[in-house]
């Protein structure tokens, strides 16, 4: 018996959400009195993999295969399931990231496992049960899911668990999984951005704007603030529908769901469909000229006023720091 954690990387560097997932998985492994094994797919430097020992991993399986250079759901799910079988892992934990959302059900089918996706807390094992608190209804509610199957998959909501150091001696082993041609059927077209912009799904800070900005010509101040804060830019649906911003920036129920540490919403009303994608952000700052805007109900900090006056002032303030 073991707990297997799948750790994601971007450009062969471990993501912050990977360390959160490792810390969560270590706590689960301790609850179950078992070892934590991590699986990495990609070309992550061995020193970085060894550093996982700091967070309680005792073994890292490393799959570095040309065929898996691009992310392919079916193939990655197959490798993770094979690693779980090899390690006798009855609990598999991964991030409920963009990739994780596609992987979780596929791994579950391969392992005949129950799923708790979008977990926000450690499982409650009182009375021999295994109950996981998870988000439900687009983050508007919590559900408590009891996993009765012997194999279990948990995907952890990013930003819901702190990174904790628990030093452990660690070994890194190559793991060569069998990859079927049928798992490589999806052709991935990778679009490499020429800009140095922060990637939206992974961003710690997001500066987002809506129809209140009146037109695409006014996004200069949004980009300037984002650059100063090392943030990604995002937008509401009507903004991307109107072609003011690319669809890749659209957040919400029908767009990306994100959970940054800081979400700054400028001229966005806070419709329920928008909140569905951003309400699990740690701190929400809302700038809106309408004091009745629904976004203020979920804001940690609200500024009532004209974005065209307030945002330049914030930019000046940040520059002076």
**Is the Cβ of residue 122 or residue 256 nearer to ligand FAD in the bound state?**
256
Nearer to ligand FAD, 75 or 287 (CB): 287
Comparison of 186 and 254: residue with beta carbon closer to ligand FAD: 254
Interhelix angle for 98-111 vs 73-86, to 10°?
50
Cβ burial 240-261 (10 Å sphere, 16+ → b, else e): beeebbeeebbbbeebbbbbbe
Is 211 an interacting residue with respect to ligand FAD (CB under 6 A)? yes
Token output for 273: 């469909």
Question: What's the token pair of residue 291?
Answer: 């004091």
Is position 306 an interface residue for ligand FAD (rule: CB under 6 A)?
yes
Give CA–CA dist 184/13, Å, rounded.
24
In angstroms, the Cα distances linking 321 to 105, 147, 315 are 46, 49, 10
13 vs 110: CA distance, rounded Å:
28
Q: How far is the CB of 317 from ligand FAD (least distance, A)?
A: 18
Stretches 39-47, 50-58, 95-103, 246-254: which one binds ligand FAD (CB under 6 A)? 246-254
Number of residues that bind ligand FAD (CB under 6 A): 26
Using CB under 6 A as the binding rule, whether residue 236 contacts ligand FAD is answered as yes
Contact 252, 140 (CB under 8 A): no
CB proximity list for 86: less than 8 A, separation 6 or greater: 61, 175
Stretch that binds ligand FAD, among 148-156, 177-185, 223-231, 300-308 (CB under 6 A): 300-308
Residue 287 sits at φ, ψ, to 5 deg, of -120, 115
* Count of CB atoms situated within 10 Å of the CB of 298: 15
293 binds ligand FAD (CB under 6 A): yes
- Residue 238 CB, shortest distance to ligand FAD, in Å, is 5
Residue 288 interacting with ligand FAD (CB under 6 A)? yes
Q: Residue 13's closest CA among 202, 170, 160?
A: 202
Query: Residue 105: which residues within 8 A CB-CB, separation 6 or more?
Result: 115
Q: How far is the CB of 21 from ligand FAD (least distance, A)?
A: 26
Report if residue 241 touches ligand FAD, rule: CB under 6 A.
no
Note whether 254 binds ligand FAD by CB under 6 A.
Answer: yes
Q: CB nearer to ligand FAD: give 173 or 306.
A: 306
Least distance CB 281 / ligand FAD (angstroms) = 14
The interface with ligand FAD within residues 257-276 (CB under 6 A) comprises 267-269, 271, 273-274
CA atoms of 16 and 204, how far apart (whole Å): 9
- Min CB(244)–ligand FAD separation in Å: 10
Q: Does residue number 280 form part of the binding site for ligand FAD (CB under 6 A)?
A: no
Q: Does 165 bind ligand FAD (CB under 6 A)?
A: no
Of 166, 224, 289, 315, which one interacts with ligand FAD (CB under 6 A)?
A: 289
| Site residues for ligand FAD per CB under 6 A | 210-212, 236-239, 252-255, 267-269, 271, 273-274, 277, 287-290, 293, 306-308
């Amino acid at each position: 018996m073991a707990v297997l954690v799948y750790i994601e990387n971007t450009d062969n560097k471990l993501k912050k959400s990977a360390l959160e997932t490792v810390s969560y998985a270590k706590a689960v492994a301790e609850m179950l009195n078992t070892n934590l094994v991590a699986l990495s797919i990609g070309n992550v430097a061995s020193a970085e993999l060894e550093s996982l020992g700091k967070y309680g991993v005792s073994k890292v399986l490393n799959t570095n295969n040309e065929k898996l250079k691009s992310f392919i759901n079916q193939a990655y799910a197959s490798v993770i399931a094979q690693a779980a079988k090899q390690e006798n892992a009855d609990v598999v934990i991964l991030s409920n990231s963009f990739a994780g959302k596609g992987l979780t059900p596929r791994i579950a089918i391969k392992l005949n496992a129950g799923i708790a996706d979008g977990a926000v807390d450690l499982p409650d094992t009182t009375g021999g049960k295994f109950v996981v608190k998870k988000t439900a209804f687009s983050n508007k509610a919590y559900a408590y899911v009891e996993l009765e199957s012997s194999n279990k998959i948990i995907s952890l909501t990013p930003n819901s668990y702190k990174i904790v150091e628990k030093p452990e001696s660690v070994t890194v082993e190559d793991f060569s999984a069998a990859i079927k041609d049928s798992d490589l059927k999806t052709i991935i077209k990778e679009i490499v951005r020429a800009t140095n912009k922060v990637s939206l799904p992974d961003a710690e800070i997001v500066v987002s704007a809506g129809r209140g900005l009146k037109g695409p010509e006014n996004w200069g101040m949004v980009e300037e603030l984002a650059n100063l804060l090392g943030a990604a830019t995002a937008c509401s649906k009507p903004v991307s529908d109107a072609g003011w911003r690319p669809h890749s920036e659209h957040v919400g129920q029908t767009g990306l769901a994100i959970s940054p540490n800081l979400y700054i919403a400028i001229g966005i009303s806070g419709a329920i469909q928008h909140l569905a994608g951003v309400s699990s952000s740690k701190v929400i700052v809302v700038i809106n000229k309408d004091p009745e805007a629904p976004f203020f109900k979920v804001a940690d900090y609200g500024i009532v006023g004209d974005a065209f006056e307030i945002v330049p002032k914030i930019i000046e303030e940040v520059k002076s720091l």
